[in-house]
């Protein structure tokens, strides 16, 4: 954008959202795992705006802390006196020679291409207005046009007559115009309407009176410009957003068994020939390489899944790396810091935390491995745990290549299992197990003659 057409973006985010029935500010309610406002801020940044001004009100401290973007100029709207009043609060930060774009913090799915089309119509001192045709425009201001089809004004529904309410073209509130013109019109606003508020929409009639051309364009879909005023509306937009995410993944070579039953709540990078079953949630930054298969009801967050991995149903993976050719689950959990080198088998009801699992090592059944450095080719027997916490501090366990633990072993850290060592079933290891040797810590089996099992006391 040229120096004379630099962009200033104003985002209105002061609404209380009483219909949400929540102490959380409306613009902080999540869609796709991010606050509504964060989606709008992302769209603004993609435009490379010279200034980004966010007008906040209800729950202002929470909003500023949660978004925490140093590029934002925060402006408070202490009194909720309408959209025109809200935009006017931002004007001291807006340049007269800028194109000023007005967006809304509760309209999260506005598309970059739609905004670009709108801005292209605002050049040469024109006012660009985004409108949308709706089958049911109830609640929206109507676009009133003259006999030549030019925009004459916008009438809010509460102020509209019956003929005007039948108009299907609705105002989205999103517009762009030169900063000096916007400032001039805002200063002329009055609040003599049914709501007693200063309507931003009233500047349209002022523009017409001043001979300013008004250019309109429409979004690619109506969901782009739908606002969130209730939890029902939020849920509807969530489903639309998730459908978009599923479509994008499938376009990149991912097979999704049911696009209506996947949630993407972050940024996902994918390879080809990936299969994802139903009810999978992908959160944060997730990287999934070629040929990965993900079973039903899995949650993967901030993790890297390398090529050829098979994740069986009901697995939870967080801040972990799964090496190529590994198999997990069902019911496996990888906690933060878990790193599988590759070709690993992590099975039923196994939990791994802050541990490196070497190439080809297996932890197949009912085990906990925490704070452990495990070599290659290790086999961990069912029910084995590393007792890494002494009640005050965490300690590490070292298990060297090709070691094997019998079922129900307890490795009390800090300790070490040497290369090729074997632990007998039920071993409680408190000292190092020498390389290549069998280590046992079991008592001799004995039978106590005449012992009687306790009986339940009868009710008196």
Q: Which residues are catalytic?
A: 365
- Residues 52 and 71 sit within 8 Å (Cβ to Cβ): yes
Q: Are β-strands 379-380 and 72-76 bridged in parallel, bridged antiparallel, or unpaired?
A: unpaired
Q: Give the 3-state secondary structure of residue 227.
A: coil
- Residues 143 and 171 sit within 8 Å (Cβ to Cβ): yes
Q: How far is CA 412 from CA 389, 401, 402, 438, in A?
A: 9, 19, 20, 17
Find all residues with CB under 8 Å of 323, minimum gap 6, and list them: 306, 309, 339, 340, 341, 342, 343, 344, 359
Q: Give the 3-state secondary structure of residue 305.
A: strand
| Residue 393 burial by Cβ neighbours in a 10 Å radius (0-12, 13-18, 19+) | exposed
CA-based nearest residue to 315, from 289, 288, 336, 296: 296
- Rounded to whole angstroms, the Cα distance separating 344 from 360 reads 5
Token representation of residue 430: 């408190």
CA-based nearest residue to 317, from 328, 307, 309: 328
3-state helix, strand, coil in the chain (%, to 5): 20, 30, 45
3-state secondary structure labels for all residues of 334-367? ECCCCEECCCCEEEECEEEECCEECCCCEEEECC
- Rounded to whole angstroms, the Cα distance separating 123 from 177 reads 8
Token representation of residue 70: 């140093």
E strand or H helix at 187, and its extent? Answer: none
Q: How far is CA 15 from CA 162, 298, 406, 434, 444, in A?
A: 29, 36, 62, 67, 73
- Residues 137 and 160 sit within 8 Å (Cβ to Cβ): no
In Å, the largest CA–CA distance within the chain is: 107
């Amino acid at each position: 954008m040229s120096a004379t057409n630099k962009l200033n973006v104003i985002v209105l985010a002061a609404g209380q959202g009483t219909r949400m029935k929540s102490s959380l500010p409306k613009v902080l309610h999540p869609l796709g795992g991010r606050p509504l406002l964060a989606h709008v801020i992302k769209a603004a940044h993609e435009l490379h705006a010279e200034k980004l001004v966010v007008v906040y009100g209800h729950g202002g401290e929470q909003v500023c802390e949660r978004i925490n973007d140093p590029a934002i100029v925060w402006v408070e709207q202490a009194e909720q006196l309408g959209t025109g009043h809200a935009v006017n609060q931002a004007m001291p930060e807006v340049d007269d020679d800028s194109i000023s774009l007005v967006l809304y913090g509760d309209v999260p799915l506005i598309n970059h291409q739609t905004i670009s089309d709108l801005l292209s119509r605002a050049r040469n001192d024109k006012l660009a207005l985004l409108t949308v045709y709706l089958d049911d425009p109830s609640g929206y201001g109507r676009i009133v046009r003259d006999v030549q089809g030019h925009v004459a004004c916008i009438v809010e529904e509460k102020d509209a007559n019956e003929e005007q309410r039948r108009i299907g073209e609705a105002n989205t509130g999103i517009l762009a115009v030169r900063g000096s013109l916007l400032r001039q019109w805002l200063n002329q606003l009055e609040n003599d309407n049914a709501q007693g508020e200063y309507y931003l929409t009233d500047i349209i009639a002022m523009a017409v009176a001043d001979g300013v051309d008004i250019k309109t364009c429409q979004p690619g879909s109506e969901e782009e410009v739908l606002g969130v005023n209730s939890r029902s509306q939020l849920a509807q937009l969530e489903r639309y957003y998730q459908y978009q995410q599923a479509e994008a993944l499938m376009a990149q070579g991912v097979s999704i068994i049911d696009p209506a039953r996947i949630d993407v709540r972050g940024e996902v990078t994918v390879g080809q020939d990936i299969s994802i079953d139903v009810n999978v949630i992908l959160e944060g930054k997730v990287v999934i390489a070629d040929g990965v298969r993900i079973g039903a009801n899995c949650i993967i967050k901030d993790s890297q899944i390398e090529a050829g991995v098979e994740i069986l149903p009901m697995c939870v993976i967080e801040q972990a790396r799964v090496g190529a050719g590994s198999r997990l689950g069902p019911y496996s959990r990888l906690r933060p810091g878990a790193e599988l080198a590759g070709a690993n088998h992590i099975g039923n009801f196994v939990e791994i935390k802050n541990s490196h699992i070497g190439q080809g090592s297996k932890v197949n059944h009912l085990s906990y491995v925490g704070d452990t450095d495990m070599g290659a080719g290790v086999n961990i027997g069912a029910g084995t745990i590393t007792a890494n916490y002494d009640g005050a501090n965490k300690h590490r366990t070292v298990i060297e290549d090709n070691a094997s633990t019998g079922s129900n072993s307890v490795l009390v850290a800090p300790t070490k299992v040497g290369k090729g060592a074997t632990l007998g079933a039920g071993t409680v290891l408190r000292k190092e197990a020498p390389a290549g040797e069998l280590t046992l810590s079991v008592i001799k089996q004995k039978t106590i003659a005449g012992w009687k099992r306790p009986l339940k006391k009868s009710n008196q």
